[in-house]
Amino acid sequence: MNRKTALAVAVGGGLGTCLRYVLTIISVSDTWLNATLIINIMGCLLLGIVSGWFFIRSEPEWLKVGLSVGLCGGFTTMSAFAAESVRFASYGSHLFLYIMSSLVGGVVAVGIGWFIGTRLGERRRAV
């Protein structure tokens, strides 16, 4: 990995992490529809858009990696998902609904994002 790519991942990761923190503070909730679920689905949508865009468009590798691994990786979080799953299990409430919403919602969001990203990439290329 070259320095430019490493810097793009670091900057993207920092921005994604800060954005996740701000959104978590804004939407604190103990219900199954919590900030982590919303953030992870939003991150999946964004990753789908980025992936679809870069599938169609030929852009610099550092930009692709900075946005996908850095920004989306810093924004979404598996560890928070796992911790909240354990918390819901200990409460005995909404665990299945939370896990299924996260998994299905994430996959659907990536699919929608991929569709959007490829269409935007095609439209941009035609201009």
pLDDT tens-digit series, residues 41-71: 999 999 999 999 999 988 999 999 999 999 9
Rg (CA), the chain: 16
Q: What are the two backbone dihedrals, phi and then psi, of residue 40, each rounded to the nearest 5 degrees?
A: -65, -40
Hey, what amino acid is at 58?
Answer: S
Is residue 73 annotated as involved in ligand binding?
A: yes
Answer yes or no: is pLDDT of 75 > 90: yes
Helices (H), the chain: 3-26, 35-56, 61-65, 73-75, 78-91, 95-126
Query: Cα–Cα–Cα angle for 112, 26, 29, nearest 5°?
Result: 85
